[in-house]
Amino acid sequence: MACFFCSDEYKNYYQFITELEECIVLLNNEQTYEGRCALVTKKHATELFELDPQVLSTYMAEVAQVARAVKAIFKADKINYYICGDIDQHLHMHIVPKHKGGSEWGQAFLMSGREVFLSEEKYSRLVEKIRAALSTT
């Protein structure tokens, strides 16, 4: 079976935001947490330790850059960072902005069973906001 992120299959679940040096930045279609996105490594790897140290360093800096932008735009109290990959093993870090008193505050983020989807127009607005913030950082 083709890799979810190496093939085009992911495009059914994510909106493209931008491309950085070592990853692509995607907005998850599921938006229980407004601004939730994922950073997918450009090269197929399944574990962080498989990345060349320089690639790992750059990737983590990009994670921090996107997290900073998302936290500011969506006024999050905390960013949660998730790498799971049991099923879709190609390395991708979920960036989940959480708010005090909001969904799952103080608990682990649950990946499945969610169903907050937006209009194409709303996705475009979120993508533009995040893209604009990343182009100035």
Question: Beta strand 78-82 with 23-28: parallel, antiparallel or unpaired?
Answer: unpaired
Instruction: Mark residues 60-99: x for contact with Zn ion by CB under 5 A, - for none.
Output: ------------------------------x---------
Q: Is residue 3 within the footprint of Zn ion (CB under 5 A)?
A: yes
Q: Is residue 14 within the footprint of Zn ion (CB under 5 A)?
A: no
Are the beta carbons of 131 and 32 closer than 8 angstroms? no
Interface region with Zn ion, contact rule CB under 5 A, candidates 36-44, 63-71, 80-88, 113-121 = 36-44
- How many C-beta atoms surround the C-beta of residue 103 within 10 A? 14
- How many C-beta atoms surround the C-beta of residue 35 within 10 A? 23
Instruction: Mark residues 100-119: x for contact with Zn ion by CB under 5 A, - for none.
Output: --------------------
Concatenated DSSP letters of 29-91: S--SSTT-EEEEESS--SSGGGS-HHHHHHHHHHHHHHHHHHHHHTT-SEEEEE---SSS-S-
Q: Which of 44/122 has CB closer to Zn ion?
A: 44
Q: Which of 24/130 has CB closer to Zn ion?
A: 24
Residue from the set 44, 75, 122, 125 that interacts with Zn ion by CB under 5 A: 44
- How many C-beta atoms surround the C-beta of residue 4 within 10 A? 18
Q: Which of 42/99 has CB closer to Zn ion?
A: 42
Q: Is residue 5 within the footprint of Zn ion (CB under 5 A)?
A: yes
